[in-house]
Structure 1
Amino acid sequence: MGISFDVLEAMVPEAAVSLKERYSILECISLNQPIGRRALALECNISERHARTETELLCESGLIQIHPGGMFITAKGSDVLRSLGDTMHNVYGFSKKEKLLAEAMGIKKVTISKGDIELSKSNMDMLGKVAAGVIEQLITDGDTIAVTGGNTLRCVADAFMPQVKHKDIKVVPGRGGIGTNPEIQSNTIASIIADKLDAKSDILYLPDMLNPRIARTIMQEPNIKKIMATIKSVDMLIFSIGVSQEMAARRGLAKPIIDMINQRGAVGEAFGYYFNEPGEIVYLSHTIGITLDEMKSIDRIIGIAGGAKKAKAILAVMRNIKNTVLITDESAANELCRLLGIETE
């Protein structure tokens, strides 16, 4: 007969604390290898001395290797992480929160990644890894997948492992380009994911925001027309959610428009739509890509966003796109619970 974690925690609380901490340290090494003790201490918010003690114990157990160039996880360590994954998910209380949040928001599913992406790169990498894992499980042969841009989705793209599991996959940008950083454009992210999945990809050589008259003219160009038809008939959509003020600035909206958006109480943005807290559309940018109405008919939609500051934005967007699987971090999940009056203790 097995012993539950709750019983272990009640009987030997220090063992439960050690398990959580060592699991986090092992996870951090896995995500950041090779990593030195100082960097590990900063990522895990522990002292360097404590990091030394814990990593020496992990090394003695054969879970990591310590080299002059940094620490690496071993095959045994990776097996331990996989074996404990579901258990730790319950230990952190995520399973209950996921169910309650999905019910409260009326969406398909919620998946929570540990930590706060605003505090460390490891937490952002973990969100990317969790999201990539969920997406891989949802892909089927013959899928056309659209992705948007941004730092979060770039992290997701980088987290995909090279694989040839599915046939006839195509990955396309879900919108035109935003801003000046090519590394986080939807074209770049679509290309990275396509390479990882051994899939085909299309590129949309258009900025996200164009004068409507110019946009209508360009849309008649045969190649653009063909790509847009593909984008608007995808099987899966992967998108990120932004804070309205940040996205308005990134899109280069004029100050009077930004002031107007703020006055109307905008908190979140997705696909050029700006939403207030109740989820009402308060402004729409003229963008190139999938529209809100088109999103509602897509079979599989995955929204990805983390950080407590995005909780209101997430909630506003989810009130409009109910057929969504939301992947978020612990920090945003906790704030969503607070906003929705959900008690998880």
Structure 2
Amino acid sequence: MEEMAELLKQIAPEIALTIENRHTILRNIYFNQPIGRRVLSSILSWSERQLRTEVKRLEEQGLLKIDSKGMELTSAGEEIIFGLEHFIYHLRGLNPIAQNIRRKFNCGYVSIIPGNSDEDETIKMQLGKEAAQYLKRTINNGDIVAVTGGTTMAQIPRAMEKISGLKDVIVVPGRGGLGERVEIESNTIAAELAKKLEAKYKLLYVPDNLSPETMESIINEPGIREILKIIRRTNILLHGIGGAEEIGRRRGLSEQEIIEINKMGAVAEAFGYYFDNKGKVVHTTTSVGLTISDLKNIRIVIAIAGGANKAPAIQAFLKYHSPTVFITDEGAARKLLELEGGEDDEQKNS
């Protein structure tokens, strides 16, 4: 399929572009349906006239339907978007990029979703879908699954199909909360994922931004201590990667503390640790739950992060730790290689 995609780009690049554009339209309708044409044109940053022409063709082909509520995909349209995913991946030349990232950062497996979640919110949904599919393939009876919070992580249980037959699986939050929107907190994500897995879940009702003294007192409570013991036995971890300043503000750091971590060169945060662009830990904050020292003991670590703007944070964290699986998007992947000093070797030689 990779060879076929390359041949199509060479002999008929205009057809390749049409396929990509129509796939983008169908994907955005799927994740936002029912949706009006004006709203969709705004999401895609297309003119209504340009979109109207393509929508008409897709309707004629029986891939979408339009009524007073807006546009929705037909079953044929849904089959097309999922059937084309692998082809679009190769059409965008993402396989050599994934292999290069895998080699550079010693990841076990790298998956790249076409697109840039900085520009297209539906890409976050696809990142969550890819993580859910990988979890479905690898989870075993008796596993303890830990998840962290965030907008991309919240897409995982939404994308996860219900699984029956698993025994003795427990889902837990990987860390305490940040006091944010409840739908993106790790406790909520853990509970929703457990429902899809028909598993038990344990919640950790401890904020992640307490003073060291208060934190020490709380984690010594018998109930909290028992939950932390379970969390430390995690077999599968799904976690995000954050930008240092962004997470610092979400954690409630003062302006002076933000200035200080910027002076230290911090560009990434994970598990309460801040990393510079070399992958060196330059600052830590109080945190409850898993720490970076626990990662080496976890069978499968799945890191999920996308968006070109997050590439410096991704680069910093991957220099510190090589996950079993890294799931990202095209925007972040291309920017990551640019930061590393160039594109994929195979692309250079082609």
**Superposed pair shares fold, TM > 0.5:** yes
Partner of 2:290: 290
Partner of 1:310: 310
Report whether the alignment pairs 1:47 with 2:34: no
Cα RMSD, aligned residues only: 1.9
Report whether the alignment pairs 1:199 with 2:199: yes
Greater Cα offset, 317-326 or 184-193: 317-326
Partner of 2:93: 93
Report deviation, 1:97: 0.8
Assess if the C-alpha contact under 8 Å between 2:209 and 2:252 holds in 1. Answer: no
After TM superposition, the structure 1 = structure 2 runs for residues 138-217 of structure 1, keeping only pairs within 5 Å, are: 138-164=138-164, 166-217=166-217
Partner of 2:279: 279
Report deviation, 1:255: 3.5
Greater Cα offset, 293-302 or 6-15: 6-15
Partner of 2:326: 326
Assess if the C-alpha contact under 8 Å between 2:148 and 2:173 holds in 1. Answer: yes
Partner of 1:32: 32
Q: Give deviations 1:27-51, integer Å, cap 9, x for gaps.
A: 2222211111112222233221222
Partner of 1:103: 103
Q: CA–CA distance in 1 between the matches of 2:158 and 2:27?
A: 17
Scaled by the length of structure 1, the TM-score of the pair is: 0.94
Report deviation, 1:207: 0.7
Q: CA–CA distance in 2 between the matches of 1:327 and 1:62?
A: 33
Q: CA–CA distance in 2 between the matches of 1:201 and 1:279?
A: 33
Gaps of 5+ in 1: none
Report deviation, 1:292: 0.9
After TM superposition, the structure 1 = structure 2 runs for residues 59-70 of structure 1, keeping only pairs within 5 Å, are: 59-70=59-70
Q: 1:37 to 1:311 in 2, by over 3 A?
A: same
Q: 1:305 to 1:171 in 2, by over 3 A?
A: same
Report deviation, 1:3: 8.5
Q: CA–CA distance in 2 between the matches of 1:126 and 1:236?
A: 20
Partner of 1:22: 22
Partner of 2:7: 7
Greater Cα offset, 126-135 or 270-279: 126-135
Instruction: Give the secondary-structure state (helix, strand or coil) at the position aligned to 1:195.
Output: helix
After TM superposition, the structure 1 = structure 2 runs for residues 243-262 of structure 1, keeping only pairs within 5 Å, are: 243-262=243-262
Assess if the C-alpha contact under 8 Å between 1:162 and 1:198 holds in 2. Answer: yes
Q: 1:99 to 1:226 in 2, by over 3 A?
A: same
Q: 1:47 to 1:83 in 2, by over 3 A?
A: same
Q: Give deviations 1:137-175, integer Å, cap 9, x for gaps.
A: 232222211011112211333222333263332110111
Q: CA–CA distance in 2 between the matches of 1:303 and 1:57?
A: 39
Partner of 1:72: 72
Q: Give deviations 1:262-294, integer Å, cap 9, x for gaps.
A: 111101000100000111100111110111111
Q: 1:343 to 1:188 in 2, by over 3 A?
A: same
Alignment-mate amino acid for residue 180 of structure 2: T
Partner of 2:241: 241
Report whether the alignment pairs 1:269 with 2:279: no
Assess if the C-alpha contact under 8 Å between 1:117 and 1:127 holds in 2. Answer: no
- The alignment-based identity, stated in percent, is 39
Q: CA–CA distance in 2 between the matches of 1:23 and 1:119?
A: 16
Instruction: Give the secondary-structure state (helix, strand or coil) at the position aligned to 2:342.
Output: coil
Q: CA–CA distance in 1 between the matches of 2:189 and 2:217?
A: 27
Assess if the C-alpha contact under 8 Å between 1:132 and 1:156 holds in 2. Answer: yes
Q: CA–CA distance in 2 between the matches of 1:138 and 1:57?
A: 40
Q: 1:16 to 1:180 in 2, by over 3 A?
A: closer
Greater Cα offset, 176-185 or 232-241: 176-185
Q: 1:8 to 1:310 in 2, by over 3 A?
A: closer
Segments of 4+ moved more than 3 angstroms: none
Q: CA–CA distance in 2 between the matches of 1:88 and 1:180?
A: 36
Greater Cα offset, 76-85 or 275-284: 76-85
Gaps of 5+ in 2: none
Report deviation, 1:300: 0.5
Q: 1:161 to 1:48 in 2, by over 3 A?
A: farther
Instruction: Give the secondary-structure state (helix, strand or coil) at the position aligned to 1:266.
Output: coil
Report deviation, 1:122: 2.1
Report deviation, 1:327: 1.1
Partner of 2:222: 222
Assess if the C-alpha contact under 8 Å between 1:114 and 1:126 holds in 2. Answer: no
